[in-house]
Amino acid sequence: AQSVTQLGSHVSVSEGALVLLRCNYSSSVPPYLFWYVQYPNQGLQLLLKYTTGATLVKGINGFEAEFKKSETSFHLTKPSAHMSDAAEYFCAVSGVGTYKYIFGTGTRLKVLA
Amino acid sequence: SQTIHQWPATLVQPVGSPLSLECTVEGTSNPNLYWYRQAAGRGLQLLFYSVGIGQISSEVPQNLSASRPQDRQFILSSKKLLLSDSGFYLCAWTRQAQGEKLFFGSGTQLSVL
């Protein structure tokens, strides 16, 4: 079975500050991990994904995430927030031997001027 | 290039009425297809997924059903809508391989009144 927990349904940061969105996963098989972003009334777009190999994954728009197996975490970071980063962010897990993708409850990021 | 079409964008239906949402993918063959529902504060809930024509996996027992009559067509249906069926419905597809990214449609906002 697989599950995802996103800590903090709402996160506010000042423009230019560090963005940190937390994601912990549970998986009975080696996981594939994803971060997606959703702008209002739209579908989701992939930011980055981890499958195998390097544990630090770089994505679009300056975001990156680190896979930490010992902590079962895949937190999303960006060194400097921009107003255009305001959106909802979803962490998702899939895994070896499955075609299911399980999403977390999402974190809404607000960027303050 | 591949595209995913989902319609309608908005739908208002009375309780007890039937439902049919359609999703089609172009530019690829034999995709995995998914239906998700997004409700406020609950993230994306996987409803159904399909790895081939006529193959439907149901994740949440409920008032909905899905069908895949053609390779690139995925239909979400209900015989009688409930108030609790309201939400934002998203169709998505991936290539036939594990760990692939999901490509999402633009969604259908369903309001059951």
The rounded percent of chain A whose pLDDT value lies above 70 is: 100
Q: What is the rounded distance in angstroms from the CA atom of residue B103 to the CA atom of residue A16?
A: 30
CB-CB: which of A32, A41, A105 is closest to B42?
A105
Helix (H) or strand (E) holding B99: none
Chain B's closest residue to A30, CA to CA, is B99
What is the pLDDT at residue B61?
Answer: 66
Report CB contact under 8 Å: A100, B46.
Answer: yes
Q: What is the rounded distance in angstroms from the CA atom of residue B60 to the CA atom of residue A53?
A: 33
For B16-28, the pLDDT digits (tens) are 999 999 999 999 9
For A30-69, the pLDDT digits (tens) are 899 999 999 887 889 999 999 988 899 999 999 999 999 9
Report CB contact under 8 Å: A94, B32.
Answer: no
Tell whether the model's pLDDT for residue B101 goes beyond 80.
Answer: yes
The phi, psi pair for A90, rounded to 5°, reads -125, 135
Q: State whether residue B31 sits within 8 Å of chain A by CB.
A: no
B43-63 in b/e form (b: 16+ CB < 10 A) is bbbbbbbbeeeeebeeeeeee
Q: What is the rounded distance in angstroms from the CA atom of residue B104 to the CA atom of residue B81?
A: 24
Instruction: Report which residue type is found at B57.
Output: S
For B72-98, the pLDDT digits (tens) are 999 999 999 999 999 999 999 999 888
CA–CA min distance A15, chain B (Å): 25
